[in-house]
Amino acid sequence: MIKRSDVDSRVVEQAKAIEQRLRRMKMAKLDKNLFDEIVEEMMKDKKSLLEMQAELDVDEQTIFDSQERIAKKKQQKLLFKTEDTPKKPENAEKGGKKAKEGK
Which tens digits make up the pLDDT trace of 30-85?
Answer: 889 989 999 999 999 998 989 988 888 888 999 999 999 999 999 988 888 777 66
Is the entire prediction scored with pTM above 0.85? no
d(CA 55, CA 59): 11
Check residues 93 and 5 and name the one with the higher pLDDT.
5
Q: Residue 97 in 3-state DSSP? A: coil
